[in-house]
Structure 1
Amino acid sequence: MLTALSIRDVVLIEALDLEFGPGLGVLTGETGAGKSILLDSLGLALGARADSGLV
């Protein structure tokens, strides 16, 4: 189970530390808020290939 995610120097995010509690986790926000950046960062943590513009 994912309990925390730390993101550094990805696109517009200099540093971000997220902690997830038990139960369902949901990401919501306006267009351009960074939801896709968070999902791309999670993909990188799981071994996905990085696009040169992402890092």
Structure 2
Amino acid sequence: MLVSLTLQQFALIAQHELSMAEGFNVITGETGAGKSLLLDALSLCVGERADSAMVRHGAAYADIYAQFDVEN
């Protein structure tokens, strides 16, 4: 289960940490709010190849950290 996702200099996001609650979580928002960016970041954490276009404009690199609970 995903516990948290931290993004730094990723796409349009300078810095953001998303902490998930236990149980069912829903991510909603208007068009262009960044929902797909969260899925893109999570995909990178599980092995998708990165593209330099994913680094925020003006930044040298992007960091993405995902914390998973694999006990349950």
TM over 0.5: yes
Give distance in 2, aligned partners of 1:48 and 1:25: 23
TM-score (norm 1): 0.89
TM-score (norm 2): 0.70
Paired letter, 1:45: C
**Structure 1 residues without counterparts, runs of 5 or longer:** none
**Structure 2 residues without counterparts, runs of 5 or longer:** 56-72
Which structure is higher in strand share?
2
How many residues in Structure 1 have an aligned counterpart in Structure 2?
Answer: 55
Query: What does 1:1-55 align with in structure 2 at a 5 Å threshold?
Result: 1-55=1-55
| Larger relative contact order (Cα-Cα within 8 Å, sequence gap ≥ 6) | 2
* Cα-Cα RMSD: 1.0
Give distance in 2, aligned partners of 1:25 and 1:53: 29
Which one has a bigger Cα radius of gyration?
2
What is the percent sequence identity of the aligned residues? 51
Structure 1 ranges of 4+ moved more than 2 A: none
